[in-house]
Amino acid sequence: MIAYLQSSNATNYIRILNGGGGTVDSYLFIGTFNGTANYATFTGSGSGWNDINSNTPATNILQTWRLMGMTVASSSLTPYLDGTAQNIKTGTTGAFTGLNIGGVYSTNQTQQCFQGYIGEILIYNLALSALQRQQVEAYLARKWGLLGGGMQTISTFSPTSVAGCGLWLDATDLSTFTYQSGSNINIWTDKTTGVQAQYSTAAGSVNYPVSGSNINGRNAVFFNQSSLLATTTQSVTTRSYFDITLS
């Protein structure tokens, strides 16, 4: 995921990407740790979370474009930040229904909504090999002008070149947006199967996400801490998640 976190929450978690629909939301978390701007990823079974600590080494992701991802194995997950693996965490997740972008599908968790920009989200239904992960990361980094660090320079690549791409939300493809009015987004459509992430008021949302040019001249989607897009009917058996979020 390519994303930019504009502000953190001094007393709570921030959920950039959250797995699960309705009141059952404890399957997948990508965001910041409780009361900090430190990068955090964890998974759960639907009845509770595993290893809900901040990723280590602790990394503040506030107000910097970051490439975030993780790969889930049978009983562990490996977080990645800007192409570099962080320490392995315990926990896994099974199949679940519904993905929430910018928050959580619950009116009880409005304080955990994200404020910042998202450029692109990729989810794969299998654990990528090291080479496949490097290809995905290099594609995102090159496209969004973030190449550096542990990321590899690899030839021209499309996310669907790797088998198992279950979700691809691309803010540079304006044809994937359906607008409520002006640049206010009502629906963001996935480029693999056509799944629609729709504006939802379930988290107390009062403002629509906004489309605009933000990352090195490329279009991104702004979430203002009171915006939520949800795919409430999508079945997910995900094993690898990559996105670019401006934090």
Rounded-to-integer distance, Cα 242 and Cα 244, Å: 7
Res 246 pLDDT > 50: no
Q: What is the pLDDT of residues 100-144, one digit of tens each?
A: 888 876 655 567 888 899 999 998 888 888 888 888 888 888 888
pTM, 2 dp: 0.89
Mean pLDDT lowest for which of 15-29, 46-60, 171-185?
A: 15-29
Cα 17 to chain centroid, rounded: 4
Give the angle subtended at the CA of 102 by the CAs of 100 and 107, to the nearest 5°: 70
Q: Is 244's pLDDT higher than 50?
A: no
Per-residue model confidence (pLDDT) at position 245? 46
Distance CA 246, CA 152 (A): 21
Classify each residue of 107-146 as buried b or exposed e, where b means 16 or more C-beta atoms within 10 Å of its C-beta. Answer: eebbebbbbbbbbbbbbbbbbbeeebbbbbbbbbbebbeb
**Dihedrals phi, psi of 198, to nearest 5 degrees:** -105, 150
What residues contact 216, with CB distance under 8 A and at least 6 apart?
Answer: 144, 145
What's the pLDDT tens digit per position in 145-154? 886 544 454 5
Tens of pLDDT, residue by residue over 194-213, are 989 988 876 555 689 999 98
How many Cα atoms are found within 13 Å in the side-chain-facing hemisphere of 3? 31
Among the residue ranges 55-64, 157-166, 175-184, the one predicted with the least confidence is: 157-166
